[in-house]
Amino acid sequence: MLTIPNPAKPDVKVGKDESENEVLKKIGEPTKFKFTPKDHLELGEALNIIDMQRAAKISGARFDFLINEAALLEFSLKQLAFDVLLKEGFTPVIPPVLIKKEIMDDLGYTQMGEEENIFSLDKDGLYLIGTSEQSIVSMFKDEVLRKEDLPKRFVGFSTCFRREAGSYGKDMKGIFRVHQFDKVEMVSFVEEGQDDKEHEYLLSLEEKFFQMLEIPYQVVRICTGDLGFNAARKYDLEVWIPSQNKYREVTSTSTVTDFQSRRLNMRYQDGQNKKYLSVLNGTAFSMNRPIIAILENYQEKDGSVRIPEVLQKYMGGLKKIARK
């Protein structure tokens, strides 16, 4: 039973792989320059805000130092997300980044070869999380919530870890695909039959963040062949990356229906009946990727980078990152 994936929702396209994902809409026009744009790593190294060489020296490939304004950019993005989501009624949480192996099994992250992407501490029987939803979703294991307390919405901030197995040779340059990164994650627990509405709500919040940053993006609905083990429907939000001349994924949001709540025994009391919770997750910011998008879309001919207006107040009024 543990090897059977969550069935896809009826509106999810049957497709073999990512080539058959559906682009639902595009917002904003791809950024145009009157000069040849640099990629984020070239910009970051010249501005002394990204250092991968020293990170490789002490940690190996696919690690990085975010320094100076890049570190400030991360914390400004985190604060923007928290400011918006707290006003929406989300509960803030900083979760543990180590969870038990059996919890990861119940969540559906260790079946169908997905265990290859998880860092494990075999001596302790613990896994490092790849996203904070893995800890937050599991909070209510073996509990019965009250219907009147639903929906429950959380915004979590944590460091995340991924092996990126199978991705060697892909996105090797720069900080797009690394082993360690920080993330602001949204998690919702709703009653039966409400997850479709909640899924659209989480997607709208993801869109709001990139509209506030004024970065061009597109929304993609993932087909069955690219859906993953525990999701019943998944939307990706992809932003325009000028150096690659294409859109790349920066956030996603999924409904897992009652797939995880059945395995974790998470229910709510509805009159005389106990029903399984519907669970959803969505990324606000997976930090390295919006930083990449900002550096590349806001770059100037002289190699400096403008700070998006919405973030300037979190960076002490700084309007531009320039060479020292």
Answer yes or no: are the C-beta atoms of 59 and 256 closer than 8 Å.
no
Tokens of 218: 């597109």
Cis peptide bond upstream of 308, omega within 30 = no
Which entry of 243, 263, 289, 296 is annotated as an active-site residue? 289
Query: Quick one: how far is CA 303 from the chain centroid?
Result: 28
Question: Catalytic pick from 252, 254, 261, 278?
Answer: 252
State the catalytic residue, choosing from 62, 153, 162, 263: 162
Half-sphere exposure of 213 (CA within 13 A, CB side): 29
Number of helices and strands (H, E) in the chain? Answer: 9, 18
Distance CA 45, CA 112 (A): 39
Known catalytic membership, residue 286 = no
Q: Are 296 and 39 in contact (CB under 8 A)?
A: yes
3-state SS, residue 167:
coil
In contact, 141 and 147? CB cutoff 8 Å: no
**Cβ–Cβ < 8 Å for 12, 221:** yes
- Choosing from 22, 45, 164, 249, the catalytic residue is 249
Residue type at position 277: L
First to last CA, the chain: 58
Rounded distance between C-alpha atoms, residue 261 and residue 23, angstroms? 30
User: Catalytic annotation on 254?
Assistant: no
Q: Is 252 a catalytic residue?
A: yes
Amino acid at 29: E
Cβ pair 247, 239 in contact under 8 A: yes
Catalytic residue flag (residue 162): yes
The gap from C-alpha 301 to its chain's centroid, in whole angstroms, comes to 31
Catalytic residues: 162, 177, 249, 252, 289
